[in-house]
Amino acid sequence: MSYMTIRQIRHEMCLNKLRELGCQVASIQGVMFYVKYTLDELKIEYMYHINPDNTYYLERIKPYVVSAGILESEDKVVNAIIIDIEQFKNAKHSKNFKAFIEVDTELSKAVRAFEDLYLYYNISREDTELIKKEINNVMELLIEVKNRSDRVFFKKEPESF
């Protein structure tokens, strides 16, 4: 006889919250989940899976890849996705939204290019330091831009500043 555990029931309730929001949810073998949401023409997609210690690893895979990290419960996964979608809905009002997506996509490509660099080539210490210096310059620029910009989303605190 097949039965659902309390955890499975709770997870199914969380998946229903996402469906009520308008997400499409696909289960892959009951341990990996694909969540898709369309905001106008923008596709927002997530993957998460259950780890052996019953935590969850979540990442957004579209419109660009970013890890949300390890979360302790199904509720935290759903809340992270809901907040992320709300942030995109809010950001979509900006006349610069398309440019933001393009910049983030380029940053994701840069991360991949750097990974290819150190996995495929013997990079000198000097070149590594040069890259670190440029990354620090970009981080300083991001902080400068944040400091001169008006905050528009308040339901969650930024994770990087």
Question: What predicted TM-score, i.e. pTM, was given to this entire model?
Answer: 0.84
- Indicate the residue type of 10: R
Indicate the SS3 state at residue 9.
helix
| List of the chain residues with pLDDT < 50 | 1
- H or E element: which one contains 143? helix 125-147
Q: What pLDDT was estimated at residue 1?
A: 46
- What do you get for the CA distance between the two ends of the chain, in Å? 51
Distance CA 73, CA 57 (A): 10
